[in-house]
Every structure is written in C-alpha cells, then in structure tokens.
Structure 1
C-alpha cells in the first residue's frame, strides 16, 4: 500500500513539475515574443541600423530613477542609446510610449503609443497619426510644452481636443525620453519630469459637485447623493454624430435635490452645468419644464467610470450636448436676458473682412472664424444673455457669452460645417450643420443650411428661402406694425412692409445672398435684415 501511495505522490510531483515548466516556458515565450515585437517597432524607426540591442537596467540608474521615473526601457542603436520606452499615468492609467531620437540631427524622429488604459471617449485619438506627427522632427534639446490651440514655439505640442490630461501624459513621457537621451548620450542633467500628470491640471474631485444659487450653495458627495429620492430610467443618449447609446441610469433629479433644500426649480430661468473638463451647457426654462435633469451616479447597474464621476447628466428628451459628464458645478439662473432680435446678418457678408483661422480639430485643419471677432461687429452684446446656436437637425444649444468670447470658433469648411469648435469640445458634442446663432439682439444665418428647416421655392433657377420663415427660425419676432429694412454690402437699403414679407425670398450662391420679391430682384449681396 505504501508503494502505491509513494507512486501516486511521485506522479503528482511530476505532474506539478511539468505544469510549472509549461508555465515558465509559456511566460518566457510571451516575454520574448513581446520583447521581439518591441524591438521590431524600434527598428521601424531605424531601418538602416546594423545592430539594435536592449540596454539592461537603465531604469535602475540613480539619476534616471529619481528624476526621470517614466523611463522603463531603452535601446542602443549602433552603439548609441537612441530609443526609449517611457510611461506616464494619464487620466485612468499608464500610457506607454516609444520615443525615437536621431543622434546625428539631435531631434525626435517620432513616437508610437505602445499601449494605454485611457477611456476611448477621451483618448482614442492620441494614437492617431495626425497627433503622433506633431512629435516629428523636434529638436531634442528642450522639453516639450503642451499648448491648447496655437503652436508658437518649436517645442510646442498642440493637445488633442477634449483630452488634455492624456495629451499631457504623452508629453511627459516624451520629455522623460529627451531627458534620458541628454543624460546618457550628452552627459547633460535636465530637470525632473514627473511620471504622472499633476492633479491641478485635471482637478480630480471625483467625489462631489456643487449646486450654486444667489445667496447660497450646497456640495453633495457620492455617498450623500444616494440618500435622495432615486429615479431609474431607460434612456438613449443620441450623439450629434448620429450614434445612439442606450443605457439605464439611476440617480436623483435636480428638482428633488432642490426641493429638499426648500428651493423650487420652476422659479429659475435656467441652469448652467459645467464638467471638470471645462465643458458647459445651459438648460433653459422651456427644457426644464418638460425634462427631468437626472444626476446619475449609476449606469447599467454599475457605478460610473472614473472619468464620468461624480455624476453625469441624463436629459431624456435632449441630444448629447446636454448630457454633461463629470459634473463639477450646477448654477441656477434667476434671470436670463431675453432675446429681442432686431438684426439678422448673412454670415459670409458679415465676416468677409475677418481673417480666417485654420483650426486643427481631430486631425482636420479647416478654415474657421473666431466668434469673439464676430461679436465685436455687433452694436452691443448683453453679457447676461446667451449665445444660442441652432442646427439643421433641430438641436438648439446655449453657451455663456464669456465662454464664446475667446478661443471659440465656427468651422466653415470641411465635414459637418458650419460647426462650433473649441479646445474643450470633444467630437460629438458639437452643433453640426449650424443654421444660425444669436446673442440677445443679433442673429447670424447660414442660408445653405437654413434651407433644410424653412419653406423653399424655385426663384429664377435657384432655391429660394421664404424670408418670413428665415427670420422666425433665427429668433426674430414682430407685430403687424413692424416693417423691415434690407441692407446690402454696398450700403444700399430697401424697406419692406409686413404685407410684402410673405412674398419675399432669399437665394444664395458662393456665399452671396440676394433678396427677391417673388421673381423680382430687390437687393444683391444682402448684408442684413433690420426690424424697424
């Protein structure tokens, strides 16, 4: 019996040893295979190199471990350490980058993203060629500097719109590679580079948000929000790209939270909601009356992702631009200056003397006009009013005047133009195919898009837009006693009475707009329509 027992023990031991051997061999194979793949990626940057070999224990160097902790591995190319694998923690986790340097020119050849755990919503574009190309042929003597919009210096890297933290993580990683290159090859000790993005940059308060009103405020954390009356609802998030995301959300409504504080939401003209990434939207009284603003802390039975905390907005009857993630502040507006549009401008005629800016947005560099320069053309702009944009798909979105005064653009060519773009706007949260925008007194229209939402008629071989519909859609209101004044770009003017209005049409071609009464031309190259 003991022999049988010993035999069984020996068999178990042998089986265990064989299993361990398989694990070890498999692990070594995986590591060797991964290392081989990485070496091939290095060679892609140095196709003429005779010898490429991995440098042992570079991360253990005292100076590098203390000052350049992002450095993980390095490769010597024909005896010179030129390629570095570096890793920096972004919004969610580490972003691993391969940075290749040309020793003869002393500049970056380029970079490749080897892997990351960032959210696709925010960082799917950091691996796109149009972003990676920004790191090519930059002198590797200075650290790179992340900028929001304009590249003014050779070392500037323009961030991916809506992915500031992930962009900064890539820049930090590449800077660590530059620092390691200068130290190992040139003998120069550069400043320390952190291997995490500073908390100040991304304002990582994922645990609470504030609700502010005149004379008071409350802050609610992620545990307290569960103590309010909860609403569970199946909703569909409709992005402006046309894609739909069904989900089941859970959380209290803004109305119920305020009721607990003795505040009646219906007494306010609107609410402004801001995310930690700087994104903002305004929900006016009309939308509040027909919608519950759900402050969701759970989606599809799970807590929110880190990049969506502390809560996200679900507004069931509205499109994606109203569904703010990572809510940081909710402001209640007891007064919003009402609109009384008295001038409606033709966009191309109004902006003809404004030099366009070629804004690069998600890899596409298109002609754009800065909104702040347009506002300067208006007689007055009420800072308490809102900048309202309308789209051919029916979307209406409001922004604060202060937000659109700087670094806010209307893209006028390329896909989805006219479209609002800004450094804090992620693709899919834009107003695409814009028909018009307005302040409290002035509106500006895009006739080529406006034709999709107004009545039209063939006028002298062109598609004519009924002027009455155009004015109403852009927000102008009038009584029977009002007349109108049409002004051309050459300064000529023509008055139109209310009885003539239903017979008037505008046609557009190559940016120029003509005004007709039926088939009779009235004014060529129309600049604006004024309410008298």
Structure 2
C-alpha cells in the first residue's frame, strides 16, 4: 500500500514537472512561432532561419521575404511584407513540402484603412489561398476564377489584395529556390505602378490617432496659393515652374490639426519613393500640395498631387503622393561612434549593381546596419552630401535592396530600384543612424577645415565629428580604435589638436603633426 502511494506521488510529481516545462516552453514561443506551429501541428522542430535576406538571390529577387522557418529540417514557412495602400502588409505563408501546396496564409499585421481593406483578414478571403500548388505564381483576378492559381480580389481593395498576392508569391519563389533549386521570376515588394492608375485621384494623411483621405476635387476647395518656384535636382538641372495648391499647414488647420505639433512628416509616392521632412525644414517654409503646374493640372503620371518644397532640392519634391505620415516623435540622434567606411565594410561582399547603364561596386546598407550595436527602428537613416543635401529614409526602407555605390560617377551615392537618377545623395560625406555615423574621408575633406600635414591633407577632427552628428561636452572623453584593436585615448580639449589624414588605403589619426594611431577604424565617445 505504502509502495503504491509512493509510486503515485512520484508519478504525480513527474506529471507536474512536465506540465510546468510544457507551460514554460509554450510561453517562451513568440506569437509568430505559435501561428507557424498552428499550420504544422504534427511538427517536432520549428526553428527561425536567421538572416534569410543575407542570401543575395533572395534579397534581390524576393525582397518581400523578411523571415523564414525551418520545419523538421525543411524551410517551408515564410513571413513576407509587401507595401499595400497605406503601408506594409505582413503575411505568414505556410507550404506543405510533401505535396508542394500552400497550406494557407495568415495576415500578421497591416496598416490598411477599413475603407480599403476591411476584409483581407476575413476567413473567406484567406481560404482562397489554401491547397494551391506552388509550381507557379498566383494571379489576382477581379470576378471569376478560371485557373487554380487565380485569387479573386477583395472588392474595392485591389491594391491591398495585390500586396497580399505579391507577399505569397515572394514566399513561393523563395521556397522553390531554397528547397528545389528552382529560380522563378523576381517578385516586387511594392504593387506594380500600373495598378495604381485607378488610385491616382486621392492620397492619405495619417497620424497617431487617425487618418483622412483627400481626393483631387477636395484639394481644390482648400485655401490656394500660387508661387513661382525653381526645382533643382541633384544633377544640377534647374526647372522653373509656377505651382498652385494649398499648403499642408492650411489643410491640416482646416481639419483641426496643427503642423507645429508634429516632429516631422514622411511622404511616400505610389512608386515606393519616400522622403522625411523634419521639423526644422517644415518651419523654414511652406510645403505646397500642388495639383496644378504652369496653369495646367499635373500630368496623369504625377497625380494626385506633387509635393513642392521651395527651399529644398529635388529629392524632397515627391511626385504621385500616396501617403503623408505625420510623426509625433522622431528618435533623436545621439551619435556615440563615428566609423571609417572602408575598414568597416571590408568584410562585406560587394555587389556590382547595374544602375542606369553603369555597373559599379556597391555595398548593401542592411549588412552595414548589422555591424552596429543598436539600430533604433523609430530613428532614421540620414545621408549628407558635399553640396549640403541631407536626406532621411526609414530604417525599414534601407534594410532591403538599398545600396551605397562606392565606385563610378557620383560615388559615394545611394542607389535602389525605387530611386530615379537625380533623386540620389551624390558625393556622400557620411550617413548615420541614431547612434552610429559612417564617414567617407575623401568627401568629408571637402566640407571641413583642413591643414597640410607632411604634404597630406589633414581634416580637423572636431569638424569631422560635428559634421557626422556627434555632440559632446567637457566631461566626455574619446577613444580612437584601429582595425587591429589598438587604441588611443583623447580628452575633449585634444579634439581641436587632432586631424585625420587619408592615406592611400587607410586613415591615420594625428595630434598636431605627430601620428598617434594608424589604420583607424572608428572614434568612440565615452
């Protein structure tokens, strides 16, 4: 009797331990992993595939693919993100490797408004993606399904529906490449521009607590201004024009919003082009929502409006505006490290990017960002040029298919499939996140104070650090680090006595006329 009782107690203890372990294990899984598991209930092992975008083929051909999961040894679940009407739509795509068919999909996250996509999360729409062979891509249709691979769109939500189809197709392409070695056609992570032709008559303004959509007729009802302006592209081309439209400030004021309450705005075109305009630029002059240029309605391909920022260069003048996002907060920059580009990126395999007929060496920005300790997703990727142009991009945008061209005309220069020539930051002096800046010494030498040091041009370290965005006070100290981890410590008073000298294949740090560290990698603020 006693023996049976002891056995029962031991059995009960084992059961309790197992329950606790299972509870902890289950709760340690992310919500996303739980959704993956729901598609593969009999699976024994589910593992996140790290750095799926490191594969150059996937990065270039299926940029929508952000993450992947290996199920019992095979990569067959993917998280893809494609830009819809208002922003990214994140889709989890599950594939059965035995039958080579879609198991199904799940919408993880989206920013679409109820007016345009209230049904993309409904079961009846999601069920359209079940049990379809992945031997070819899906095709969006309007009314009738004539082929097993046809997906009937959500009525009134063409763009959102196509974004979901693109996300699924990107997963199919990545699956076939990884598991079967099949190279399918590339899939864009934005809806093809021709599909937006039906959506050229309105744009959205979004803020934390709401959004509104304004069509081309409504824009004419706001208080109008007419102004003679000059558009200056980064190629140096100047175009004089007379524009008409309301200012963004007046539009917001009539809708009960104050532009001064926001830290900046992000403007996106239908082609995926994006620019950030910070508070300082917003306060320095009007931002005009132009619907008429030189006495005529803007061209069909530029509708519904074109942003006109009279005191800024062409990259701020966004065409075919689809969204204006009002930011209540932008993470401030507090640069702790200033890196030298060449030694920082020497272990990154370059990509020879063909851009407007020229194929030049380029470095993928996403791989540079992985070298930084902290990358604040709420911050911005800032680029500055010799001519004074400063341009900001979202971190999410530059993580994929975004490059710094380091050879050829106008290098260093940012390039991307969404960038038309003339909208680039050419002869870049530096770029930065919220904590890290990276400089190009040859270009930096053109905008800072210099002096001759042994027949070479020395850049004043104080100017270099300030230009790159670093700020400090008397209490701060600095440490210069070489590529082989040698270090030289500096106090703030010494910064004015120090210079950076560009050698043939490296940068040296000098104090007055004496070299104190060669093969410089970075300067850190302490």
Question: TM-score interval w.r.t. the shorter chain?
Answer: 0.5 to 0.7
Give the secondary-structure state (helix, strand or coil) at the position aligned to 2:347. coil
- Unpaired runs of 5+ in structure 2? 1-172, 174-180
What is the aligned partner in structure 2 of residue 315 from structure 1? 309
In the TM superposition, 1:212-223 aligns within 5 A as 212-223=206-217
What is the aligned partner in structure 2 of residue 272 from structure 1? 266
Give the secondary-structure state (helix, strand or coil) at the position aligned to 1:348. helix
Using the TM superposition, give the Cα deviation of residue 155 of structure 1 relative to its aligned residue in structure 2, in angstroms: 8.8
What is the aligned partner in structure 2 of residue 497 from structure 1? 491
What is the aligned partner in structure 2 of residue 401 from structure 1? 395
Q: Out of 334, 358, 362, which is 1:340 matched to?
A: 334
1:426 aligns with 2:420: yes
Q: Distance in 2 between matches of 1:366 and 1:378?
A: 25
What is the aligned partner in structure 1 of residue 284 from structure 2? 290
Q: Distance in 2 between matches of 1:237 and 1:153?
A: 46
- Unpaired runs of 5+ in structure 1? 1-145, 147-151, 166-198
Q: Distance in 1 between matches of 2:233 and 2:504?
A: 30
Q: Whose radius of gyration is greater, 1 or 2?
A: 1
Question: 1:203–1:276: 8 Å Cα contact kept in structure 2?
Answer: no
Q: Out of 350, 359, 364, which is 2:358 matched to?
A: 364
What is the aligned partner in structure 2 of residue 244 from structure 1? 238
Q: Distance in 2 between matches of 1:223 and 1:205?
A: 14
1:480 aligns with 2:478: no
Q: Distance in 2 between matches of 1:292 and 1:522?
A: 49
What is the aligned partner in structure 1 of residue 158 from structure 2? none
What is the aligned partner in structure 1 of residue 252 from structure 2? 258
Using the TM superposition, give the Cα deviation of residue 500 of structure 1 relative to its aligned residue in structure 2, in angstroms: 1.2
Question: 1:367–1:412: 8 Å Cα contact kept in structure 2?
Answer: yes
Give the secondary-structure state (helix, strand or coil) at the position aligned to 1:499. helix
Q: Distance in 1 between matches of 2:206 and 2:191?
A: 27
In the TM superposition, 1:116-265 aligns within 5 A as 199-200=194-195, 202=196, 204-265=198-259
Encode CA deviations 1:93-152: one digit per residue, 9 max, x unaligned: xxxxxxxxxxxxxxxxxxxxxxxxxxxxxxxxxxxxxxxxxxxxxxxxxxxxx9xxxxx9
What is the aligned partner in structure 2 of residue 324 from structure 1? 318
The size of the alignment, in residue pairs, is 348
What is the aligned partner in structure 2 of residue 380 from structure 1? 374
What is the aligned partner in structure 2 of residue 529 from structure 1? 523
CA change 1:276–1:497 in 2 (3 A) is same
Encode CA deviations 1:441-488: one digit per residue, 9 max, x unaligned: 000000000011100111111111000000000000001111110000
Output the TM-score relative to the length of structure 2.
Answer: 0.64
- Greater than 3 Å deviation, 4+ residue runs: 152-159, 162-165
Using the TM superposition, give the Cα deviation of residue 511 of structure 1 relative to its aligned residue in structure 2, in angstroms: 3.9
Q: Distance in 2 between matches of 1:335 and 1:366?
A: 37
Using the TM superposition, give the Cα deviation of residue 510 of structure 1 relative to its aligned residue in structure 2, in angstroms: 3.2
Q: Distance in 2 between matches of 1:376 and 1:156?
A: 28
Give the secondary-structure state (helix, strand or coil) at the position aligned to 2:466. helix
Using the TM superposition, give the Cα deviation of residue 203 of structure 1 relative to its aligned residue in structure 2, in angstroms: 5.5
Give the secondary-structure state (helix, strand or coil) at the position aligned to 1:529. strand
Encode CA deviations 1:6-36: one digit per residue, 9 max, x unaligned: xxxxxxxxxxxxxxxxxxxxxxxxxxxxxxx
Encode CA deviations 1:347-391: one digit per residue, 9 max, x unaligned: 001001000000000010000000000000000100000000000
